[in-house]
Amino acid sequence: MRNKLKSEKYFQETYEYFSTRFYRWHEEYLAKIAQSDLGTSGWGTYQPKTAASFLVGDFMSMFYSGYSLGLSKKELGKDLELCQHYLLSYWNGAGGSYIDMYFYLAVAIIFELSKEHVEPVLTLLIEEKYEDFVLDSMANFLMPEFEIRTDKVKFKPDLTYQTEVIKLAKNSKEQAVQRLKHYLDKQWIRQQQNGMGSRPGSHKQADESMLYLGYWSLESAALVIMLGLEDTSIKDCKYYPYDLVHEQC
């Protein structure tokens, strides 16, 4: 157990709920595609792109609840290829969820996914002309030939701290860590409650069944790896997923 706000039974049931639904809908998706069946399904009237976006959301819910439960990094990452498949199946610059792309690039950094694995997603960002400083910086780390195309972000003020940490790290990794610690200690949870809603589930309704998945700043782990930061001073920040940085797959 990594999260003490809820019981082990709660997180076990939550993880099982989302994982069961994810794999069931995955099989349904494959069957619908194979049969060219646009009838009804678990999503209502079947639309492949809508179904794919729901599957990405369920994978995220599996990931967060599984980490809260205490699953190993290897177990959490075993179906990242499916997450990528469904992201590619629906995402576009006009209507694609920023959070889904943000999540995928963060886990790609955390799990050290190969260039071959991430290149289709990074190519999609270019093809869709979707420019964002934070996403571009993450993509550049994953594939150095990916150019950072802008110094602007899609969402202010929600992405201000990430931008500041990335820029500070160029001259002072110590200052970058201090900024990250301040954010985790003072700002992160307030942003999740009032900001762009960058987590699956509800943080305002932590007492409602299966809405609470865990308060984890996944992108902070990605930034520590990406920028080569020393994370001793943030190890005990209750929103920092330390094991994702230090546990081997």
Omega of the bond prior to 241 within 30 degrees of 0, cis? no
Lowest model confidence (mean pLDDT) among 34-48, 113-127, 204-218, 235-249: 204-218
pLDDT given at position 195: 53
- Say what the pLDDT of residue 86 is: 97
* pLDDT reported for residue 65: 96
Quick check: 241 and 111 in contact, CB under 8 A? no
Q: What mean pLDDT do residues 45-65 have? A: 92
Average pLDDT over residues 44-60: 90
> Using 50, 70 and 90 to split pLDDT, how confident is the model at 52?
very high
In the prediction, which pLDDT does 209 show? 52
**Domain locations in the chain?**
8-246
Position 37 scores a pLDDT of: 77
What secondary structure letter does DSSP report for 79? T
The answer to whether residues 55 and 25 touch, using CB atoms and an 8 Å cutoff, is yes
Query: What rounded mean pLDDT belongs to the chain?
Result: 91
Task: Note the pTM of the prediction, 2 decimals.
Answer: 0.93
